[in-house]
Structure 1
């Protein structure tokens, strides 16, 4: 999985929490949100595609 694919996957994951009239996250906002709320060291590995995507984005600078 490359960085762009990882961003698409976790943006979709972030958008699952969007309710009512809220707008979905733009990719840049989703990246900023994830980097501001989760540390790579705190990432729990569930062995799934989402974990891999979050790991790729959190480890990239």
Structure 2
């Protein structure tokens, strides 16, 4: 379940149409209220923070 949520977050962050979504909004879509928890889990899974992933222009 957690892996699926993180994968959805990765796709969302890589979607150019969603570049204006705040990290907190992405985390909330996954049912996480703590952005720190989301950031740590994302970093463990993908080796970069959500912000770094988005800023590199990676695509889903």
Asked if Structure 1 and Structure 2 have the same fold, meaning a TM-score greater than 0.5 normalized by the shorter chain, the answer is no
Query: Is the radius of gyration larger for structure 1 or structure 2?
Result: 1
Using structure 2 for the length normalisation, give the TM-score: 0.35
